Amino acid sequence: MFEILDILGTMAFAVSGALTAMNKKMDPFGVFIIAFVTAVGGGTLRDVLIGRTPVGWMMNLNYVYIILLGFVLAMIFKEKLDGFRKSMFLFDTIGLGVFTLIGLEKGLEVHLHPVICIALGTMTACFGGVIRDILCNEIPVIFRKEIYATICIVGGIFFFFLKSIELPENLVYLATSVLIIFIRLMAVIFHWSLPTVEKN
């Protein structure tokens, strides 16, 4: 079950990266690289920072194949992807939940402090998009208006709260991802976003 969600999330992130790259009029190599870093960039940064090398996607080629598939689909259906907007958004939201959990898990595996684990969860879910935006020469969108990252942080706190009251592990994972997906849906439906900070 978790694997399928991971695949759907990776695919959605890859397609979203490919679309961003197409909007920047990149060539197919550029589109593929942007799809790739959007999908695995957050996890790669996490692995590098905690010293888990060779990084994840080098040890599990499935990620490469899924991203390749996402890239090909995005290239073929590029005119029609607007019709899949809702499915795409759903997969992307699933990715947000699943990637946060994977990051939390990797942090726990190397016995890091909960605060750092939450940072790793957020990084895994959000920093692929940050690297995508930097490669596309944009200020990362999650630094400006989307509450994307905040949801991961809230999810991470909830995760450790549930663990502290000794809920069974499966339930902790399920509840955390449901919470993240739920807040994300609410955020989009009700147009929640953080206010920007400005010096007057």
Q: For residue 81, which of 13, 19, 5 has the smallest C-alpha distance?
A: 19
Site string for a second copy, 55-74 (x = CB under 8 A): x--x--x--x----------
Of 2, 62, 76, 138, the residue at the interface with a second copy (CB under 8 A) is 138
How far, in whole angstroms, is CA 102 from its chain's centroid? 10
Residue 196 makes contact with a second copy by CB under 8 A? yes
Q: For residue 19, which of 71, 89, 65, 64 has the smallest C-alpha distance?
A: 71
| Shortest distance (Å) from residue 90 CB to a second copy | 21
What count of other Cβ atoms lies within 10 Å of the Cβ of residue 175?
16
Residue 137 makes contact with a second copy by CB under 8 A? yes
| Shortest distance (Å) from residue 192 CB to a second copy | 11
Residues 71-130 that bind a second copy (CB under 8 A): 75, 78-79, 110, 112-113, 115-116, 130
Tokens 């898990």 locate to: 105
**Which one, 33 or 174, has the nearer CB to a second copy?**
33
The answer to whether residues 74 and 31 touch, using CB atoms and an 8 Å cutoff, is yes
**Which one, 55 or 73, has the nearer CB to a second copy?**
55
Residue 140 makes contact with a second copy by CB under 8 A? yes
What count of other Cβ atoms lies within 10 Å of the Cβ of residue 194?
14
Cα 71 from Cα 39, distance rounded (Å) = 11
Tokens 């905040």 locate to: 150
| Shortest distance (Å) from residue 57 CB to a second copy | 8
Structure letter (DSSP) for residue 138:
S
Structure letter (DSSP) for residue 54:
S
Residue 22 makes contact with a second copy by CB under 8 A? yes
Question: Which parts of this chain interact with a second copy (CB under 8 A)?
Answer: 19, 21-31, 33-34, 44, 48-51, 53-55, 58, 61, 64, 75, 78-79, 110, 112-113, 115-116, 130, 134-140, 142-145, 147, 149-150, 193-200
